[in-house]
Amino acid sequence: MRVVVDTNALMMPVECDVRLFDELDRLLDEYELVVPETVVDELEKLAEGNGAEGTAASVGRDLADRCTVVATDADYADDAVLALGRECAYAVTNDRPLRQRLADASVPVICLRGEDKLAITD
């Protein structure tokens, strides 16, 4: 099963102390992580910055190397996640507006629950 990940999901290990891949392993048996090219681009731009966000984005960019990068027609990362989400079993994001858009499109979302655990939402 394919699972699409958003920018902030890839930044969660630094920003929220979440072991992203361990948590996904706990929730899902077998899966393939996919990341839109626009998400990788966004991470690269954010990684150029200083401070915690730049560090989190740099780590997120490295984690994206463990995913399958997918091209989409969308110019905006959230639109690309939504488009891929419609083709995937789940989307991983903690972005509230995006979570709502995914829910409206009937895409199950995996997001942060508690301090450092992920959960599947309906």
Domain ranges for the chain: 2-121
Q: What is the pTM of this model?
A: 0.93
Fold observed for domain 2-121 = Rossmann fold (3.40.50)
Contacts of 9 (CB under 8 A, 6+ apart): 20, 92, 93, 94
Cα–Cα dist 69/55, whole Å = 21
Q: What is the pLDDT along the chain (122 residues), one digit of tens a residue?
A: 999 999 999 999 999 999 999 999 999 989 999 999 999 999 999 999 989 999 999 999 999 999 999 999 999 999 999 999 999 999 999 999 999 999 999 999 999 998 889 999 86
